[in-house]
């Protein structure tokens, strides 16, 4: 026989179970545009890499900042001494650092646990190296599905893609990238959120200086992603760690 108490408890349990799928269906916001007028957020994927210093110098010389979406183990292990110095350098120059996941895998091909692992490992690295927990994640290849968005929300992050692709990662020539940028700037949209790659030498040493000059001449402010959205760059900011034997890929 069911008592009033047991019926009530069963009803509460049913409501709780029913609520779980609804909670899991909550999705992280996907950002593809800046929201603060007259801003451009130049973003650079796939590092940290050897050309990071030159990206930063070009930006700083123009009184500008950028956003670096770092991998943990793509071109090199982020825990290598040279990579640690690059990450620290970008952050010290006022640029924003964000997650591009650990090993640049297509997240849409992974399981729930694998997605979290790709996110968590690079978040841990940035927390160890800088003391920050990033508030933004760019999925490799710009690929995401609802599972990825659910995981991102749980991790407190927004997904970021772009509204302009320089084409550098798919073989666009310097002339083509510059022409595409010039055509976009001529249209003078209110904001621009471009995709570039710090790992491509011609992007850094030829396209970037040209584009910075054109954007400044058009009257844009070159800012971080967080600034162009008027949102915090990090979920938390604390003290960095000290490298030890656990800092490995």
Strand ranges (DSSP E) for 19-74? 30-31, 39-40, 43-47, 67-70
Residue 16 is predicted with a pLDDT of: 35
Residue 168 is predicted with a pLDDT of: 97
**pLDDT tens figures, 8-57:** 333 333 333 333 333 457 999 999 999 999 999 999 999 999 999 999 99
Please, which residues have CB within 8 angstroms of residue 95's CB and are 6 or more apart in sequence? 56, 59, 65, 66, 67, 68, 224
Phi, psi (5° rounding) for residue 135? -100, -5
H helix count then E strand count, the chain: 9, 13
Look at residue 153 and tell me whether its pLDDT is greater than 50.
yes
Residue 24 is predicted with a pLDDT of: 52
CB 71 within 8 A of CB 104: yes
Look at residue 90 and tell me whether its pLDDT is greater than 80.
yes
Residue 25 is predicted with a pLDDT of: 78
Look at residue 60 and tell me whether its pLDDT is greater than 60.
yes
Residue 5 is predicted with a pLDDT of: 40
For the chain, state the CA radius of gyration. 21
Mean pLDDT (the chain, rounded): 92
- For helices 208-217 and 52-61, the axis angle rounded to 10 degrees is 20
**What secondary structure letter does DSSP report for 49?**
-
Please, which residues have CB within 8 angstroms of residue 126's CB and are 6 or more apart in sequence? 70, 87, 97, 99, 132, 133, 134
Look at residue 171 and tell me whether its pLDDT is greater than 80.
yes
Residue 17 is predicted with a pLDDT of: 31
- pTM score above 0.85: yes
Look at residue 155 and tell me whether its pLDDT is greater than 70.
yes
* Rounded Cα–Cα distance for residues 37 and 59 (Å): 20
Q: Which band of pLDDT confidence, cut at 50, 70 and 90, is reported for residue 166? A: very high
Quote the percentage of the chain above a pLDDT of 70.
90
Task: Please give the average per-residue pLDDT across 144-149, as a whole number.
Answer: 98
């Amino acid at each position: 026989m069911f008592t009033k108490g047991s019926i009530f408890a069963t009803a509460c349990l049913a409501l709780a179970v029913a609520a779980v799928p609804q909670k899991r269906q909550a999705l992280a916001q996907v950002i593809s545009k800046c929201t603060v007028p007259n801003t451009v957020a130049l973003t650079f994927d796939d590092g940290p890499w050897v050309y990071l210093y030159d990206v930063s110098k070009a930006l700083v010389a123009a009184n500008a900042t950028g956003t670096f979406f770092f991998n943990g183990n793509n071109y090199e292990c982020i825990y290598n001494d040279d990579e640690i110095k690059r990450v620290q350098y970008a952050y010290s120059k006022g640029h924003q650092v964000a997650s591009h996941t650990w090993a640049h895998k297509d997240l849409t091909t992974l399981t729930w646990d694998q997605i979290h692992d790709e996110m968590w490992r690079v978040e841990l690295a940035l927390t160890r190296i800088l003391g920050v927990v990033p508030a933004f994640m760019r999925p490799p290849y710009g690929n995401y599905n609802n599972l990825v968005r659910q995981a991102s929300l749980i991790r407190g992050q927004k997904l970021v893609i772009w509204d302009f692709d320089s084409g550098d990662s798919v073989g666009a020539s310097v002339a083509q990238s510059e022409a595409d940028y010039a055509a976009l700037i001529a249209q003078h949209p209110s904001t621009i959120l471009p995709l570039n790659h710090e790992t491509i030498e011609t992007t850094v040493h030829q396209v970037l200086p040209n584009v910075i000059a054109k954007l400044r001449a058009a009257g844009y402010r070159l800012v971080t992603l967080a600034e162009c959205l008027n949102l915090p760059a990090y979920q938390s900011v604390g003290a960095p760690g000290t490298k030890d034997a656990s800092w490995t890929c």
